[in-house]
Structure 1
């Protein structure tokens, strides 16, 4: 198994990625310029997912391990239609976050192609099997390598101790989907109208764990502005 090229948190790259995956041009990725209400207002509505890129610092890793241990103890239950996959490929967290964001939003239509084919095959698999399926998918791998190679080198990217997670709304609940964790993480009730604001609060919690760190970027999947 080889490492994938780190995916940059750059709307131009993310949008090219979405199109290659078959996502309708009705939906696009946008930079979220800030998490305060007046800046969230600039994000096209309704936002369907937030993609957070953050540093995996020692503080975060300690928190993640404790959180994961608690999840394993409680063995939480989730909606049967929540698509969750484990990350088995180094530097594939950006792709996993996009898959999580798109697959859990029925409003985001998919053309025939790489992602639609993957989801059809992965639907009845376990999270671990879904991760392995992606690892063995040459079309997906080749597409990722082509697109991840583009873009300005100064952009923040996964790899080098940075990591992507997706935040989505499913059946009235806010979920954090991270392929490195044993389960999805519930962050409480939300609605389609409140999702962006509630997901921004979760992003702020990540930032509060590392107040001296500045390497956080947030992208939204939202309607394309004409």
Structure 2
């Protein structure tokens, strides 16, 4: 089994997870951050184009799964029931055998259980899924953790640090953050957490949008720790907006020649313009994702060391350190008083 230190920590950021998906060779997906699960935000997440259209109503953007980051607690109770029948073998569920691999493992739990026309897993993940189909969860976990391709993509997002801490110095009562996945499979909602004994069945999909059925589960989980923990993060894995907008523009272009001049053709041009603007915004967003990921991967250590040397040469480093200590001291006193 690979050593725990072979896998880096991954930041819970939609740009990082979107680039992870691309790094694995998967096409047709992107990741969006969710700040809440209220109806208005969920509607906005699934809305791709304008409400008034020349053709049939614009299709809703599929949401294939959620990734939830939270501080792991030993005593936390499971919301559903552990699946022990044949369903567990018919889905990809891997036991987590490497601590820092939980981000990639949660992402792969969604990717490898998604069967949708929008999604192309690519050669590497398609072969991995086929080769591990008959493995039990423990063997799937070992296979995942020792697959060099997956590990190298994961570790490409490692952050450079100035100081390396000894794991032995870690406080015994410090509980780590953990990623889990939620997704619908065959009309039921499951939580896939590699630290559990198996997939967790959360019940049937009742509403048109499975996220509405999942909402009380997420809310209950957050509320259980509101007194001691407020750091949560929720991300949605959706189909590519660019893909949907581009397909819509092709459909509109195909009917443009059949329309006579008039209100309907004016509406078509207006819809095309809105789609074009949306497409430009998506392109800008993807460019920002790439830029943010480049900053994640860049090694700033030489620059920081050079700046510290220059400050020391000018005699400014020690006063800045002392000033920082004083600010921290004042802040601690203010918090204590509060």
**For this structure pair, what is the TM-score category when the shorter chain's length is used for normalisation?**
0.7 to 0.9
State how far apart, in whole Å, the 1-side matches of 2:206 and 2:114 are. 13
Corresponding residue for residue 171 of structure 1: 186
8 Å CA contact retained: 1:169, 1:191 = no
4+ aligned runs moved over 3 Å, structure 1? none
Aligned-residue offset at 1:78: 4.6
Query: As a proportion of its length, which structure holds more strand?
Result: 1
Corresponding residue for residue 143 of structure 2: 133
Matched, 1:122 2:124: no
Secondary structure of the 1:43 match is helix
TM-score between both structures, scaled by the size of structure 2? 0.57
Gaps of 5+ in 1: 151-158
**Deviation larger for 10-19 or 133-142:** 133-142
Corresponding residue for residue 149 of structure 1: 159
Alignment equivalent of 1:182, drawn from 190, 194, 197: 197
State how far apart, in whole Å, the 2-side matches of 1:39 and 1:139 are. 36
State how far apart, in whole Å, the 2-side matches of 1:13 and 1:172 are. 30
Query: Relative to structure 1, is the Cα distance of residues 103 and 192 closer, same or farther in structure 2, using a 3 angstrom cutoff?
Result: farther
Corresponding residue for residue 42 of structure 1: 44
**Deviation sequence 1:163-219 (CA, Å, 0-9, x none):** 000001011110000000001111110168321222232211210210132111100
TM-score between both structures, scaled by the size of structure 1? 0.84
State how far apart, in whole Å, the 2-side matches of 1:117 and 1:90 are. 25
State how far apart, in whole Å, the 2-side matches of 1:196 and 1:203 are. 10
Query: Relative to structure 1, is the Cα distance of residues 84 and 38 closer, same or farther in structure 2, using a 3 angstrom cutoff?
Result: same
8 Å CA contact retained: 1:50, 1:168 = yes
Secondary structure of the 1:42 match is helix
Which aligned pairs between 1:1-226 and structure 2 lie closer than 5 A?
Answer: 1-3=3-5, 4-24=7-27, 26-44=28-46, 45-56=61-72, 60-64=73-77, 67=78, 71=82, 76-79=84-87, 80-107=89-116, 108-113=119-124, 115-149=125-159, 161-190=176-205, 193-212=208-227, 213-226=229-242
Q: Quick check: which has more Rg, 1 or 2?
A: 2
State how far apart, in whole Å, the 2-side matches of 1:225 and 1:109 are. 15
Considering only aligned residues, what root-mean-square deviation do their CA atoms show, in Å? 2.2
**Deviation sequence 1:2-57 (CA, Å, 0-9, x none):** 23211111111101100111211x2111001211111222213221101000111x
Aligned-residue offset at 1:220: 0.4
Query: Relative to structure 1, is the Cα distance of residues 55 and 29 closer, same or farther in structure 2, using a 3 angstrom cutoff?
Result: same
State how far apart, in whole Å, the 1-side matches of 2:90 and 2:206 are. 17
**Deviation larger for 195-204 or 118-127:** 195-204
Corresponding residue for residue 156 of structure 1: none
How many residues align structurally?
207
**Deviation sequence 1:60-105 (CA, Å, 0-9, x none):** 32124xx49x84xxx6325242211101011111111111101111
Secondary structure of the 1:5 match is coil
